[in-house]
Structure 1
């Protein structure tokens, strides 16, 4: 169940994922890796600042051995 209404500038995991063009699991991974911080909510229904989400999207992500490399060729 999603929140009915959030103050402006605050988003749920699902909305954060839509804003960044990624899956909700990616947002949760960014939190686990310390790239994004929750600003409130509950453990099962976290809330994030939209500005933090956009900043996290633009941060270079460390890769792990065996992980697919992003193809940046134009």
Structure 2
């Protein structure tokens, strides 16, 4: 179930999972570990800041050796 309104510059949990190539349980684990924080929404339908997701994408990129 997707929220009815997500502010510009934010992503739903489903969109975050798609961007990171992970499942919804993994998104919840990122939140529990403090690697991703909710930017709003409800407990059942949170949304996340796009800038936070981009930071995770950059952190997961392999570094050139």
Taking structure 2 as the reference length, what is the TM-score of the superposition? 0.78
Q: Which runs of 5+ in 1 are unaligned?
A: 61-74
SS of alignment partner, residue 38 of structure 2: coil
Do the aligned residues in 2 keep the contact of 1:39 with 1:48 (CA within 8 Å)? yes
Structure with the largest fraction of strand: 2
User: Are 2:12 and 1:7 aligned?
Assistant: no
Larger relative contact order (C-alpha < 8 A, sep ≥ 6)? 2
CA distance in 2, matches of 1:4, 1:44: 12
CA 1:25–1:44: 2 relative to 1, 3 Å: same
1:11 positional shift: 0.8
Over alpha carbons, which structure has the higher Rg? 1
Q: Is the 8 A contact 1:30 1:36 kept in 2?
A: yes
Query: CA offset at residue 54 of structure 1?
Result: 2.0
The gaps in structure 2 that reach 5 residues or longer are: 61-65
Task: Work out the number of aligned pairs and report it.
Answer: 60
